[in-house]
Amino acid sequence: MSVLLLTNDDGVHAAGLAVLASALEDLGEVYVIAPEREQSACGHALTLHRPLRVDRIRERWFAANGTPSDCVNLGVLGFLPAAPVLVVSGINHGSNLADDVTYSGTVSGAMEGTLLGVPSVAISLADGDDFGEAARVARLIATRVLVEGLPTKTLLNVNVPPGVPRGIRITRQGHRVYTEKIVEQRDPRGRAYYWIGGGEPRWEALEGTDLAAVHEGFVAVTPVHLDLTHHRALAQMADWSRALTAQLERSRGRAD
């Protein structure tokens, strides 16, 4: 039977992860490797300067003292009895929309699976703690990916609205405009410490984006490509190489 690897950034004991595992249990042999504690907003961090330790929670469930990306590396590179055919990260408690994908541990778990050559999906519930609809969506999408696969270097970032979705839309990544600020406070000894936050984000209500879809009550399925090259900029900057090379040579001449 094919192996499916599940992870998350809310921690191995999170309710969304348990619901996800139940929803996918008959699609393959489901293994869970997840952080032993919450790793929200950890981004695509890897642990390189200390050893990773893995504890068995129960059959095919493991907790690691690392990030979601660490967990996926463990699962894909040899910890499991067979390489997984699918990585699913979630169900996250809270949305991962627009530019938030750059911070999200949930999405980064799927990114790591994609970089390692395994079709990968990240799934998040925008609000609330009723994961039933999100699990149903996760099963549908996982089944489709297992049959059809995904394009190279592409993961699916799935965001489910609260309540019963009106449908499913294939969307592009939106853009949030943050008004956050640094909040300075003092500890009992009078030393300053800081919180990042305190503002409410605004978002561009553009048709076709993940933000617009979830706002209108639809599931947003966004294909995220991991080639970050701006290909249009390559053409626009074609003359930079010659000009910068000439400037570099002139600067060497002045230095000599």
pLDDT level of residue 184 (50, 70, 90 thresholds) = confident
DSSP string across 141-202: HHHHHHHH---TTEEEEEEE-SSS-S-EEE-B---EE---EEEEEE-TTS-EEEEEE-S--E
Q: Which residue has the higher pLDDT, 116 or 99?
A: 116
With beta carbons less than 8 A apart as the criterion, state whether 163 and 217 touch: yes
Predicted pLDDT of residue 197: 66
DSSP string across 65-84: SS-HHHHHHHIIIIISSS--
Predicted pLDDT of residue 213: 95
What is the Cα 172 distance to its own chain's centre?
15
What letter represents residue 213's amino acid?
A
| Fold of domain 3-174+205-231 | Stationary-phase Survival Protein Sure Homolog; Chain: A, (3.40.1210)
pLDDT level of residue 179 (50, 70, 90 thresholds) = low
With beta carbons less than 8 A apart as the criterion, state whether 62 and 32 touch: yes
With beta carbons less than 8 A apart as the criterion, state whether 102 and 43 touch: yes
pLDDT tens, 11-49? Answer: 999 999 999 999 999 999 999 999 987 767 666 777 788
Q: Is the pLDDT of residue 198 over 60?
A: no
Crossing angle for the helix pair 15-24 and 132-148, nearest 10 degrees? Answer: 50
DSSP string across 193-256: EEEEE-S--EE---TTBHHHHHHTT-EEEEEEES----HHHHHHTTTHHHHHHHHHHHHHHHH-
